[in-house]
Structure 1
Amino acid sequence: MRVTIDNPASAPRPLGPYSQVARVELDDGGALLYLSGQIAEGADTAAQSSGIFETLAALLKAHGATLDDIINIRTFMTDLGDLPAYAAVRARFLTATPPTSTTVEVPRLFRPEALIEIDVVAAVQAA
């Protein structure tokens, strides 16, 4: 098994001292991609969610994957009352079979202005 830790130049830079992608090469030639939690700027949950999915798409693309390759998504929200806004954005970006999912409410995120943070795992099929 080979693991590569990466901050792709084609995606937005991380907001702190961490890596955004861990790529685990599988024996069959495929890979699992573990993406760090992402936040984005925006006035509300919908705007932040859109920005996050755009960043996730860029990170995945850098590793030969798309949002359709997501197999697990974890969402941390500071107010579950904003779940309908997030769900509408998520439905625009995740159009394939829905991945496994966890959504939890947290009292705060690492940046005070962040309303939502999302991390994902994606599976890249062997070529």
Structure 2
Amino acid sequence: MRVAIDNPSTVPATNGFYSHVAHVTAGPLLFLSGQVAFGDDGEIDRPGDMTRQSEVVMSLIERLLAAHGATFADVVNVRTFVTDLSRVREYGEVRNRYFPKDPPTSTTVEVSKLFHPDALLEVEVVAAPPAS
């Protein structure tokens, strides 16, 4: 295996939504830019709806990964920026559909605003796809 997920017993346990360490031993890495919920029309999909925006963002990430022969199983790190941390559970419910086991390492922070005023979250990932 090129990627080993690890949660050493020498540190406090995670809450199950992330892992402490993703050790990539070889092969290529993909760094995806942060994605916001832009629809195909170039507009933010459903301003104010965190669940829908989360679904759109994850779909965009899925399409970007697929374009490079990768899937969510290859994701080793997720960085999430939300404008209202009290709504992170809505995002988490969507995100957990894409990472049902061995979740990647993760950071989630609240920011005062994103580059588009209707965007509620921005998500970037790092993936370690199989060598082509």
Shorter-chain TM range is 0.7 to 0.9
Residue in 2 aligned with 1:30?
27
Residue in 2 aligned with 1:42?
46
**d(CA) in 1 for partners of 2:123, 2:46:** 15
> Any unmatched runs of 5+ in structure 1?
1-27
Residue in 1 aligned with 2:73?
68
Supply the AA of the counterpart residue of 1:61.
A
> Any unmatched runs of 5+ in structure 2?
1-24, 38-44
CA contact (8 A) 1:68 1:96 kept: no
Q: Which has the higher strand share?
A: 1
Q: What is the aligned residue count?
A: 100
**d(CA) in 2 for partners of 1:103, 1:37:** 13
Supply the AA of the counterpart residue of 1:98.
P
**d(CA) in 2 for partners of 1:29, 1:83:** 33
**d(CA) in 1 for partners of 2:111, 2:50:** 14
Alignment TM-score, normalising by the size of structure 1: 0.74
Q: Aligned-pair distance for 1:116?
A: 0.3
Supply the AA of the counterpart residue of 2:68.
H
Residue in 2 aligned with 1:80?
85
Deviations 1:67-95 (A, max 9, x none): 11100000000000101101100011222
CA contact (8 A) 1:68 1:95 kept: no
CA RMSD of aligned residues (A): 1.5
Higher Rg:
2
Residue in 2 aligned with 1:108?
113
